[in-house]
Amino acid sequence: MRIFTAALATETNTFSPICVDRRAFEASLYAPPGQHPQTPTLCSAPITVGRRVCAEKGWVLIEGTAAWADPAGLVSRSTYEGLRDEVLTQLEAAMPVDAVVLGLHGAMVAAGYEDTEGDILVRVREIVGPDVLVCAELDPHSHLTAKRLGAADFFIYFKEFPHTDFVDRAEDLWRIAVETLEGRVAPVMSVFDCRMIDVYPTSRDPMRSFVDKIMRMEKDDADILSISVIHGFMAGDVPEMGTKMLVVTNDELEKGNTLARELGLELFSKRGTFIMPQIDEIEAVGQAMAAQSWPVVIADVWDNPGGGTAGDATVVLQELLARGATGVAIGTIWDPMAVQICMAAGEGAEIPLRFGAKSAPGTGNPVDGVVKIVKLVTNAQMRFGESFAPFGDAAHIVLDGIDIILNSTRAQSFDPSLFSAMGIDPLSKKVLVIKSTNHFFASFSKIAAQIIYCSAGTPYPNNPAKTPYRWAPKNIWPMVENPHGR
């Protein structure tokens, strides 16, 4: 067997002011053929798992480019077309192949392309023809479109949010691909549109129980190859935005259709109960400062670079400064210009500095003060499960007794190693302020005495009922109360 694999992924917040060009991919991950590291990123796990699987089977794996950019706004047309054509040219050169196994995200939007993954998959299908297996692993925070369904044989999505299972799902992808190529299964996809959009953390019920249920169903029913919840991505203003249920069966389309509908309606019945309760910055800081055990983690959930925001909001920091808080570490505030100034000044310097809140309204105000530069790190990175997440050149500064990490590559706060990489012991702090909606939970929950979910400012369009969508469907919950008529 000859199998082609590649990865091209980012998550597009169409409301974000930060445009994505090729440099954004190069800052996060750009690996030409054969140069992908042994450690996978979220969307490139099919490549690393594929190396092992093909080696064991004695098959030929032809690797194309792997590219990933941290979530932001629209991808420039030239950047998307350039990376897409790079991969497609590699596929054409690899022909003939027996299968194409891809790592995609599912929520990329480029200028002129509302459905980039659909565009890629259609072009792949045109190259390989109707009989070659085409499959992909994707992020659940994405859009499942008719174009994609028509071009691929099957999809596998991460089940967990935080996405701690991206390698496990790549294993599922390859298992089904191998069984298909060896003639043991014939995957077919069934989809049900839940006609809703919500946030579904699997670290808490009811989503925890729902994911456990579908995993038991996969294990107990031989007809079911995979079940996925496509959460949808509420910051992606595209026509097919919303939550979908996907069931992949072994040539049992009607059974899959029935199951997808049953599970989709069960999910819909729990709408509005999934996301964790949130409080504003005033209450959050008050609770944290009154705590008697530490560290307390304040999650600034909507200034989350993992959802495409800048990550430069200062609302929580300003509240802490106003109250004279101490024993606090902030990770992070994105400000490449301020980092550059700190790099020029050097470790140990004390300088006047303005930083933060440059990206958009609703992110607070820039902070001014005389800061001490404690530590400077080039190409800093933190852990994220089995992977590493870069946060670029970074500066650890202190302002009025508060430790602050300024970073130059946007990244949400995945792991406490974010702090230790900058010389801050997270266990020594009373309060850790991080920027993440839920990915942080897998690691920070292990050290936190308390987690406070804070909704501060308006950097992210987090209320779909009020978001000024232009293209997204209007007949889904919470835009309407009961789109299913029950």
How far is it, in rounded angstroms, from Cα 103 to Cα 120?
A: 11
Q: What is the pLDDT of residue 443?
A: 96
Residue 51 one-letter amino acid: R
Q: Where are the domains of the chain?
A: 2-270, 281-454
What H or E segment, with its residue span, contains residue 211? helix 207-220
pLDDT value at position 42? 83
Please list, in sequence order, all residues whose beta carbon lies within 8 angstroms of the beta carbon of residue 129, skipping any fewer than 6 positions away.
none
Are 110 and 146 in contact by the 8 Å Cβ rule? The answer is no
Q: Distance between CA atoms of 178 and 56, rounded to whole angstroms?
A: 11
Cβ contacts of 277 within 8 Å, gap of 6 or more: 453
In this prediction, residue 385 carries a pLDDT of: 79
Task: Tell me the per-residue pLDDT of 324-348, one tens digit each, with 9 for 90 and over.
Answer: 999 999 999 999 999 999 999 999 9
- Of the chain, the end-to-end C-alpha distance in Å amounts to 50
Residue 28 pLDDT: 87
Nearest partner of 309 among 318, 317, 300, judged by Cα: 300
Q: What is the pLDDT of residue 486?
A: 59
In sequence order, what DSSP letters do the residues of 422-475 get, joined into one string? TT--GGG-SEEEE--SSTTHHHHTTT-SEEEEE--SSSS---TTTS--SSS-SS
| Cis-peptide, bond into residue 162, ω within 30° of zero | yes
- Furthest C-alpha separation in the chain: 68
Tell me the two tokens of residue 314. Answer: 């200062």
Q: For residue 394, how many C-alpha atoms fall within 13 Å in the half-sphere facing its CB?
A: 29
The span from the CA of 37 to the CA of 44, in Å, is: 10
**431 in Cβ contact with 298 (< 8 Å):** yes
Give the Cα separation of 417 and 420 in Å (integer).
Answer: 5
DSSP letter for 44, please: G
Residue 359, CA distances (Å) to 24, 109, 277, 336, 405 in order: 16, 20, 26, 12, 17
Quick check: pTM over 0.75? yes
Which tokens is 459 given?
Answer: 């950097």
Residues of the chain with pLDDT under 50: none
Quote the pLDDT of residue 259: 98
Six-digit token pair at 233?
């991505």
pLDDT value at residue 27: 86
Instruction: Check residue 485 and give its pLDDT.
Output: 77
The tokens for 198 are 């919500």
